[in-house]
């Protein structure tokens, strides 16, 4: 069980006010807040042993290197990766996916090949593939999304075929919350010889994730969405694919030996970490993982399911005023709810909620083809939860939402805003 009321005290920012109101932070899918141990880890590094890694012979450098490599081991254990050598530390999910597009995919996707995505991809798991497909003469295909926000798998046996080189899909949708059947789809993809990349940006921070059990080949996620600092993320690659991948960024630290005309690559995973890495943030990500492990990821998931159940219940009181998107089933979605009003633009809703101290996300949520193309709305409002959120936060959201809708109705600000 998670005691969100007690946990809140570890998060300094949660005690601040916004426009004189208590901050109710419900934008966790965008980025999470940071607990004191994570912040303190950054301070300890800069005050106590700031130095470069992997190359120093002095005490500070050895200490920094040890902590940096310990963080890598913590990441590996957290997602049940077989070894720390398969963990590449990058900036974020976006960089992890771009690394795969520029390395493995650049040498394994050719003319006429197919890359299968879903209609619910974040731009970061769409735009890199668009460029690659253009360069290689490959074709992008999409698993459709049903009205209730699930993947429509009725044509999956045709969509996944011997031309499919890669299935790249989101584990948990940042728009709908849908938890996708990634394990089953990975099996199917492997059966036709395709590799599988999973965008774990919204799953790894919120539920137990085991890459061995999922069976995928690549998994990318961001530290800043899981209590860690910004600027540190992870790409996990299955060992056999990693061995054959060419490096992406070239320079110092990723080489073993260098001659005037040639160079040999460093061991794994260093050959994918050119230049001075993000040392402080990597070590602090290790602290974030310690914090999550102390809570237990199953407890994190249970807490968010409970909050989602409560949110769906109380938001149903507004059934005539707002439309809810996604599964509307706490066991089949991550800790978030997305909604729109038929009368009020989501940006206007977000602005009024902000005045009440409530931080939510509003807009296309970096998934324009899904939001505007498929759901056919100008944008959505999204409230997303984490370990420090309480049912009271959600009640405050709903109360503020009622107030905002009443305000707009009274003002007669209406459908003109909603195209
Ligand atoms: N994929 C999903 C599903 C996301 O929710 C996000 C962040 N909103 C990203 C990718 C991109 O993450 P980042 O900006 O940290 O690279």
Tell me what the mean pLDDT of segment 331-360 comes to: 95
Give 419's pLDDT tier (boundaries 50, 70, 90). Answer: very low
Residues 195-215 pLDDT 10s: 999 999 999 999 999 999 999
Averaged pLDDT, 322-332: 97
Taking residues 375-391, what's their average pLDDT? Answer: 95
Residue 410: its pLDDT value, please? 85
- For the domain covering 38-293, report its CATH number: 3.40.640.10
Contacts of 412 by beta carbon, 8 Å cutoff, 6+ apart: none
222-230 mean pLDDT: 98
What pLDDT was estimated at residue 147?
A: 87
Q: Which two tokens stand for residue 232?
A: 């540190």
Across 107-210, the runs of DSSP E, i.e. the strands, are 114-118, 139-143, 164-170, 195-199
The protein residue whose alpha carbon is closest to atom 12 in ligand 1 is 93
Q: Whose alpha carbon is nearest atom 4 of ligand 1?
A: 201
Tell me what pLDDT residue 416 has.
45
User: In this model, does residue 415 exceed pLDDT 50?
Assistant: no
411 band by pLDDT with thresholds 50, 70 and 90: confident
Q: Are 171 and 179 in contact (CB under 8 A)?
A: yes
State the sign of the Cα–Cα–Cα–Cα dihedral 154, 155, 157, 159: negative
Average pLDDT for 189-196: 98
pTM for the structure as a whole: 0.96
pLDDT at 345: 92
- pLDDT for position 12: 98
> CA nearest 7: which of 395, 399, 393?
393
Question: Cα dist. 347→122, 123, 341, 389 in Å?
Answer: 19, 20, 11, 23
pLDDT in tens, 281-316: 999 999 999 999 999 999 999 999 999 999 999 999
Residues taking part in catalysis:
366
- Tens-digit pLDDT profile for residues 36-71: 999 999 999 999 999 999 877 999 999 999 999 999
What's the 122 CA to ligand 1 centre distance in angstroms? 7
* Segment among 225-239, 296-310, 401-415 with least mean pLDDT: 401-415
- According to DSSP, residue 179 is labeled B
Angle at 274 between CA 268 and CA 280, to 5 degrees: 95
Please tell me the number of Cα atoms within 13 Å of 272 on its side-chain side: 26
Task: Output the ligand 1 site: residues, CB below 6 A.
Answer: 29-30, 92-94, 122, 124-125, 170, 174, 199, 201-202, 222, 366
User: pLDDT category, 408, cuts 50, 70, 90?
Assistant: confident
Sequence ranges of the domains in the chain: 4-30+296-417, 38-293
pLDDT at 412: 72
| Cβ–Cβ < 8 Å for 51, 267 | no
Residue 199 Cα, ligand 1 centroid: separation in angstroms? 8
pLDDT category of residue 409 using cuts at 50, 70 and 90 = confident
The rounded mean pLDDT for the chain is 96
Q: How many angstroms is it from 235 CA to the middle of ligand 1? A: 13
pLDDT, tens digit (0-9, with 9 covering 90-100), for 139-153:
999 999 998 999 999
At residue 342, the pLDDT reads: 85
Pocket test for ligand 1, best of 202, 223, 234, 365 (most atoms within 8 A of CB): 202
Region 215-234 average pLDDT:
98
- 36 C-alpha to ligand 1 centroid (Å): 24
Q: Which atom of ligand 1 is nearest to the CA of 121?
A: 3
Per-residue pLDDT, averaged over 27-43, amounts to 98
pLDDT at residue 333 greater than cutoff 80:
yes
One of 1.10.10.10, 3.90.1150.10, 3.40.50.720, 3.40.50.300 is the CATH number of 4-30+296-417, namely 3.90.1150.10
């Amino acid at each position: 069980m998670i005691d969100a009321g007690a946990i809140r005290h570890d998060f300094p920012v949660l005690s601040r006010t916004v426009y004189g109101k208590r901050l109710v932070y419900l934008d966790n899918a965008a980025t999470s807040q940071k607990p004191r141990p994570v912040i303190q880890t950054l301070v300890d590094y800069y005050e106590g042993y700031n130095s470069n890694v992997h190359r120093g012979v002095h005490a500070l450098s050895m200490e920094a290197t040890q902590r940096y490599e310990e963080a890598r081991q913590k990441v590996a254990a957290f997602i049940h990766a077989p070894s720390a050598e398969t963990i590449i530390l990058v900036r974020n999910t976006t960089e992890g996916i771009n690394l795969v597009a520029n390395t493995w995919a650049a040498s394994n996707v050719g003319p006429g090949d197919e890359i299968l995505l879903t209609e619910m991809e974040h731009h970061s798991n769409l735009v890199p593939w668009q460029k690659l497909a253009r360069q290689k003469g490959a074709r992008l295909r999409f698993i459709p999304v049903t009205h209730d926000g699930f993947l429509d798998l009725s044509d999956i046996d045709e969509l996944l075929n011997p031309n499919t080189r890669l299935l790249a899909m989101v584990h948990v949708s940042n728009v709908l919350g849908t938890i996708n059947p990634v394990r089953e789809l990975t099996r199917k993809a492997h059966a036709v010889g395709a590799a599988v990349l999973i965008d774990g940006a919204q799953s790894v921070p919120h539920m137990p994730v085991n890459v061995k059990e999922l069976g995928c080949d690549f998994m990318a996620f961001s530290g800043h969405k899981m209590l860690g600092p910004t600027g540190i993320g992870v790409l996990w690659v299955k060992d056999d694919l990693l061995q054959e991948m060419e490096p992406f960024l070239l320079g110092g630290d990723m080489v073993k030996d260098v001659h005037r005309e040639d160079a040999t690559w460093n061991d794994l995973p260093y050959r994918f970490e050119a230049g001075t890495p993000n040392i402080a943030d990597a070590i602090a990500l290790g602290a974030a993982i310690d914090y999550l492990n102390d809570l237990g990821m199953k407890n994190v998931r249970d807490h968010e399911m409970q909050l989602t159940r409560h949110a769906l219940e109380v938001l149903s009181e507004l059934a005539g005023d707002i439309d809810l998107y996604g599964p509307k089933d706490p066991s089949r979605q991550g800790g978030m709810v997305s909604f729109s009003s038929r009368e009020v633009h989501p940006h206007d809703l977000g602005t009024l909620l902000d005045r009440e101290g409530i931080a939510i996300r509003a807009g296309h949520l970096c998934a324009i083809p899904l939001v505007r193309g498929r759901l056919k709305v100008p944008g959505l409002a999204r409230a997303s939860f984490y370990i420090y959120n309480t049912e009271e936060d959600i009640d405050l959201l709903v109360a503020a939402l009622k107030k905002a809708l009443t305000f707009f109705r009274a003002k007669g600000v209406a459908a003109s805003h909603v195209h």
